[in-house]
Structure 1
Amino acid sequence: MSDHLEEGKKFLDTVMHYYDKAAQHTGLSSGLIERIRHCNSTYKVIFPVEVDGEIHNIEGIRVQHSNHKLPTKGGIRYSTEVSEDEVKALATLMTFKCAVVNVPFGGAKGGVKIDPRQSSPEMLEKVTRRFAAELIKKNLIGPAVDVPAPDYGTGGREMGWIADTYMTFKFGDTNAQGCVTGKPVGIGGIRGRTEATGLGVFFGLREFFKFEDDVKKLGLTTGLKDKTVIIQGFGNVGFHTAKFLHEEGAKIIGIAEYDGGVYNENGINIGALDEHRKATKSVTKFPGATDIADSRSMLNMPCDILIPAALENQINEENANSIKAKVIAEAANGPVTMQAEEILLSKGIVIIPDLYLNAGGVTVSYFEWLKNISNVRFGRMGKRADEKSFEKIIGSVETLTGKKLDAENRADITHGSDEEDIVRSGLEDTMIDAYHEMRNALVAKPELGDLRTAAFYVSIQKIALSYQMLGIFP
């Protein structure tokens, strides 16, 4: 078996292990547990694409894990290492991820075997539009059926091509823009989506560090200020996670990328590193930081918080014993294998699971979907009315006190919530509430043992209730 197929199988086995570990605590019937466990459907297609007179045969996969709620939801990744097991694992995670953060979607995922780094924009557009057409033909995409989003190797550009293709087939459907999320703002996207996953990671970590009893066990203090952080991956998720943590006062001491890493025990200026990366196409050779040729070795460096924000299976039985972080925050999907988790938990390391922590993306995708099917921008109806109300309050306070606010403070206080404000507020509320649900389950049932099992337990109970309310299971 090739390496990527083996990695995909390992990933799926890990997800199933985590599910089974939590399911045994639910008290649900074996039939219901099995129904929730398995993927509903898998669609594989090989389609031809012609570029510069040459025919390329491309393999695409779409997996819908659960239809207990519709539409199903999940990204499409572009990689030559896409495998059926990997996509099944990701689709399964999406079901439980949506349940953890109370997003009313079932889980799905897609993959296309293509290298986006080595493909021309023309090739990528033809592949994207043809794959979208294949999904449309099978009724596997649509605002009420299945709603893809960006993932590894894809972004707003690809989502725009999918939306345009869908709207061409479904001309006149006023909800058509909701067939996909993560679109550019100009074609139905939502402000705040780009940074959503990284911001969600930040909100989740911030909430964890509010509980003194929990962090004291690790020899840490509350709050993120001055906590040392190493992040694997400096793409969209890794960058925004680093940015918000840096702004909160955390010390980002290491960034690991596929072509090397950088380290500075005194902290790295994330804004400056981003500018350097844009200029040089690499994080290496950043002034004031030490280059680390084997960036994977940075996972073993001492820090308070280790954030794997790249790909799955990065922390495994081979390197888990060498991990020195006190908290592992899973910004990527499935970065810790089941064998590694046992080792890490035995060492007293806390793992904040991907199931919860990187759900910011699907949460804001949900907001974008709501925007598309309601056909109105958030904040449009109330922003000016709020500002007028705030102006009246400020005017009354100024009259009573005889003092005037300066223009800057007045503008800050009277600012009505625009779309980005509302999206960030909704994401913050979602991540806070979900963390409390997860933690409360662990406090109520200490036999769950860890936050990941608690997250799966909470999500399984919610999905089971959906099936029971539908009358499918007693």
Structure 2
Amino acid sequence: MANILIADNQETHFFNDVCNNFDYAAQFTKHDAGLLDQIKSCNSVYRFRFPIRKGNGFEVIDAWRVEHSHHQSPTKGGIRYSEMVNEDEVMALAALMTYKCAIVNVPFGGAKGGIKINPKNYTIQELENITRRYTVELTKKNFLGPSIDVPAPDYGSGEREMSWIADTYATMNPGQGDALGCVTGKPIALHGIAGRREATGRGVAIAVRECVNVGEDMQRIGLMPGISGKRIIVQGLGNVGYHSAKFLAEFGGIIVGLCEYEGAIYNADGLDVEAVFQHRKETGSILGYPGAAQEFKNSKEGLEQPCDILVPAALENQITADNVRNIQAKIIAEGANGPTTPEAEAIFYENGGIIIPDMYANAGGVTVSYFEWLKNLSHVSFGRMNRRFEENSNLNLVNMVEGITGVALTPMQRSTIIKGASELELVNSGLEDTMIRSYHEIRETFVNNPKIDTLRTAAFVGAINKIAVSYMNLGIWP
């Protein structure tokens, strides 16, 4: 176990919030107190510093990697590049990853990484040096590897950084056949997987769709069942927010508001997400978009506009006791990690709302990362072995049916029926099945125990029970 180093002056609220949620949920389980303490605690916290050359001088970079739980191997979690990152945040996010993986039945322990920089302040060469040096430090301490700890993109990082990590690890481990499985979220050209980039946002959209499809729950909060026509505000136009809005619109929702750090825009008749995205790409701001009926210089004002569903997909602590009473949405779907404070959540539920918790709602990313990891270990892409076989089988079936019935299908009908599944289609199918099954597992726990008051608590209870079984199977607890 690595040495645990925590700065005396560091804020410790986020990890405490996660632990408080855990403790509250644990009372609805029957597990030994020692086992619960083991599940809750961070197993390994590695804090380190390293120098890089910047300009004509040097700069020392602070970095972390936290492995929260080893009940499953490897551990899994993204690497955050942010000036705001600190040890408490990384510990909290690692813990959430543990519970998130359990909720969606992905066999990983939770982990998280952080590099305390603003990527905008560095050249591409400097970012590469930082990422490669970070990888070297993790590899030296055995905090990286396809069967040890598998990072992924997070806030401030993406496919490019994952490529650097994969290349550095492979260079340090010559001859290791599974080296590319040391990290997920890689580009397709470097054995990434189709659908990974949009997976988290797609998962959020599926989670929202499942929630609003339950007629009993919608009747309780005064909404009609179904996603069609629901007014939705999304905070954040990064990877998660953009794809959440995109897929929610495709499912039939109306995106009435979009919020970014520079401000917010709103139109009750709906906004064209792609057009807003392109406008921001060209001008650097969502403000000034010609299709907006209202603009707000304060991003949080955008959260308070009329809507049915609010998707905070930016950073933590966006909905607090100070502004939650101004939120007009009936449903909050947490695309980001920890966007709603515990005090705000209690108030929102008292007012009859529903919160789809982050550790379920944004689990699409780790689900598809799991598929990528499996692809890297098997050294074959999904669909490669059976796609043509399926197409030939379907073709033979169509020919036989046409011969028996005498009814000829159109070329479009034939191609639709005969077509074998591509990797992207298989990935999206697996993601959809995972999100649907997991939502109803959580809801079943919520409905069957009247003492459980929120979906978040229900999700924690389910995660705790699954992790406890894993520890028992290891023979650590009887």
Query: What's the counterpart of residue 65 of structure 1?
Result: 68
2:37 is the counterpart of 1:34? yes
2:412 is the counterpart of 1:408? yes
2:256 is the counterpart of 1:253? yes
Distance 1:436 1:201 in 2: 15
2:56 is the counterpart of 1:53? yes
Match of 2:429 among 417, 425, 431: 425
1:18-167 equivalence runs, <5 A: 18-167=21-170
SS of structure 1 residue aligned to 2:430: helix
Amino acid at match of 2:184: T
Amino acid at match of 1:314: Q
2:269 is the counterpart of 1:266? yes
SS of structure 1 residue aligned to 2:221: coil
Query: What's the counterpart of residue 367 of structure 1?
Result: 371
Native 8 Å contact 1:259 1:295 kept in 2: yes
Distance 1:444 1:340 in 2: 25
Native 8 Å contact 1:11 1:313 kept in 2: no
Distance 1:318 1:444 in 2: 33
Native 8 Å contact 1:5 1:85 kept in 2: no
SS of structure 2 residue aligned to 1:448: coil
2:444 is the counterpart of 1:443? no
SS of structure 2 residue aligned to 1:447: coil
Amino acid at match of 2:140: K
1:140-289 equivalence runs, <5 A: 140-289=143-292
SS of structure 2 residue aligned to 1:117: helix
Displacement of 1:277 in angstroms is 2.3
Native 8 Å contact 1:96 1:107 kept in 2: yes
Query: What's the counterpart of residue 474 of structure 2?
Result: 470
Q: Where does the alignment leave 5 or more consecutive residues of structure 1 unmatched?
A: none
Count of residue pairs the alignment pairs up: 471
Flag the 1:361–1:135 CA change in 2: closer, same or farther, 3 A. Answer: same
Q: Where does the alignment leave 5 or more consecutive residues of structure 2 unmatched?
A: 1-6
2:468 is the counterpart of 1:452? no
Distance 1:209 1:414 in 2: 33
Residues 268-277 or 81-90, more deviating: 268-277
Residues 371-380 or 279-288, more deviating: 279-288
Query: What's the counterpart of residue 334 of structure 2?
Result: 330
Distance 1:180 1:76 in 2: 10
Native 8 Å contact 1:65 1:95 kept in 2: yes
Native 8 Å contact 2:261 2:299 kept in 1: yes
Native 8 Å contact 1:79 1:116 kept in 2: yes
Query: What's the counterpart of residue 307 of structure 2?
Result: 303
How well do the aligned residues superpose, as a CA RMSD in angstroms?
1.4
Native 8 Å contact 1:167 1:173 kept in 2: yes
1:320-343, CA deviations, whole angstroms, 9 ceiling, x for partnerless residues?
121111000001001011111111
Distance 2:369 2:228 in 1: 30
1:371-390, CA deviations, whole angstroms, 9 ceiling, x for partnerless residues?
00111100000111111111
SS of structure 1 residue aligned to 2:48: strand
1:47-70, CA deviations, whole angstroms, 9 ceiling, x for partnerless residues?
011133321100110001000000
Distance 2:131 2:8 in 1: 23
SS of structure 2 residue aligned to 1:217: helix
1:134-187, CA deviations, whole angstroms, 9 ceiling, x for partnerless residues?
000001000000000000000000000000000000111110000000000101
* Identity rate, percent: 52
Native 8 Å contact 1:261 1:283 kept in 2: yes
Native 8 Å contact 1:330 1:357 kept in 2: yes
Displacement of 1:114 in angstroms is 0.7
Displacement of 1:275 in angstroms is 2.2
SS of structure 1 residue aligned to 2:311: strand
4+ residue runs over 3 A deviation: 4-8
